[in-house]
């Protein structure tokens, strides 16, 4: 008898990963927090649709223009971060082996929804098998219960969840602002990326930058190239490189080894709002005493504004009342 896939559900700020793993990802995300990068290592490989066309006649921007665009880029990132808390989406997570002929180790599809205190995730497909309707319905009921709790401002659990969420948001905003000073941008060229004209900048660590946290310290070990959309002042593509080993907790908690690569693609999903569409990570390190290697891809799709908890609660209840199955593939 076939056994239905396990449905993972719960409230979190990201898909469930260890604390050390979170730290490693934060280090890899670092460079683009300034001129944005949100998380993903990759080989420098591009499909036919990703061919870049350089514009050799383009003139480099002035120092004043670079400073002004950096400020607009950071402001836009703050806005995108705020809007992301109001959207649900689909994530396709793939773990693979390394080498020229990688094989898939894990393949899962999740529905990710906001809660007002983080995100709620439901496993839709596990290794090619769809979740059973009964499991999906139970997960949707759990999401409904969390949203209902978050609409009660005096509920102690809601207060705790919201306080933690506010701290994460504050830390994230502080990190983005710190990253503006952590790098020295250098204009490289102008290119067309996915049909959009972009300026390509190289970000090298600023030797005069003084970090104020473990995550900010990781910025000093990362360099990046970013493709900045000229019309929107948003990151269309970014690639980060770990230039030296990054230690966490003095190396006790873990270490990210030199040579790791992260890339991200973003696109405009609504006027003035840019979210990730693909992230890829390739890196190696150590968690406590145990070595690990990560080759991970996340594909993001079907962004849909579901609103703050009160609005999301109505949408989830309507879906439960309809009894209609969720269509994983649009």
Question: Residue 328 domain-assigned?
Answer: no
pTM over 0.75: yes
Please give the chain's pLDDT, 330 residues, in tens.
333 333 344 444 343 334 444 444 444 444 443 433 333 333 333 333 344 556 666 788 888 888 888 888 888 988 998 999 999 999 999 999 887 888 999 999 999 999 999 999 999 999 999 999 999 999 999 999 999 999 998 999 999 988 988 888 888 777 777 777 888 888 999 999 999 999 999 988 888 888 777 777 778 888 889 999 999 999 999 998 889 888 877 777 888 889 989 899 999 999 999 999 999 989 888 888 888 888 999 999 999 999 999 999 999 999 999 988 787 765
User: Is residue 5 a part of any domain in this protein?
Assistant: no
Q: What six digits make up the tokens of 169?
A: 């948001």
> Pairing relation of β-strands 261-270 and 290-305?
unpaired
Asked if residue 289 is part of any domain, the answer here is yes
Tell me which residue range forms the domain holding 112: 11-322
Is 21 part of any domain? yes
The answer to whether position 232 is within a domain reads yes
Whether residue 329 lies inside any domain: the answer is no
2 in any annotated domain: no
Q: Would 295 be classed as within a structural domain?
A: yes
Domains held by the chain: number: 1
Classify burial at 50, counting beta carbons within 10 Å of its beta carbon; exposed 0-12, middle 13-18, buried 19 or more.
Answer: exposed
């Amino acid at each position: 008898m076939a056994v239905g896939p396990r449905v993972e559900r719960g409230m979190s700020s990201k898909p469930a990963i260890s604390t050390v793993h979170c730290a490693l990802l934060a280090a890899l995300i670092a460079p683009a927090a300034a001129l944005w990068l949100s998380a993903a290592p990759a080989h420098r490989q591009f499909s036919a649709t990703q061919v870049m066309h350089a514009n050799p006649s383009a003139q480099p921007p002035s120092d004043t223009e670079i400073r002004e665009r950096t400020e607009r880029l950071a402001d836009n990132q703050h806005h995108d971060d705020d809007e992301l808390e109001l959207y649900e989406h689909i994530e396709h997570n793939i773990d693979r082996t390394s080498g020229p002929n990688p094989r898939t180790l894990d393949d899962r599809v999740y529905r990710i929804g906001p809660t007002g205190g983080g995100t709620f995730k439901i496993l839709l497909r596990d290794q090619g098998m769809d979740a059973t309707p009964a499991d999906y319905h139970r997960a949707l009921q759990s999401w409904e219960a969390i949203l209902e709790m978050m609409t009660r401002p005096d509920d102690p659990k809601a207060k705790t969840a919201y306080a933690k969420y506010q701290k994460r948001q504050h830390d994230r905003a502080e990190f983005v602002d710190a990253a503006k000073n952590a790098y020295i941008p250098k204009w490289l060229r102008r290119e067309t990326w996915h049909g959009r004209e972009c300026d390509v900048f190289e970000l090298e660590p600023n030797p005069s930058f003084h970090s104020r946290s473990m995550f900010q310290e990781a910025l000093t070990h990362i360099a990046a190239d970013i493709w900045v959309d000229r019309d929107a002042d948003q990151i269309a593509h970014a690639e980060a490189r770990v230039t030296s080993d990054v230690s966490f907790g003095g190396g006790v908690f873990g270490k990210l080894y030199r040579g790791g690569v992260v890339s991200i693609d973003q696109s405009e999903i609504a006027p003035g709002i840019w979210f990730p569409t693909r992230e890829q990570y390739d890196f190696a390190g150590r968690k406590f005493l145990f070595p690990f290697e990560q080759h991970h891809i996340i594909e993001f799709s079907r962004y849909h504004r579901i609103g703050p908890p009160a609005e999301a609660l109505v949408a989830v209840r309507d879906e439960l009342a309809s009894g209609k199955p969720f269509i994983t593939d649009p």
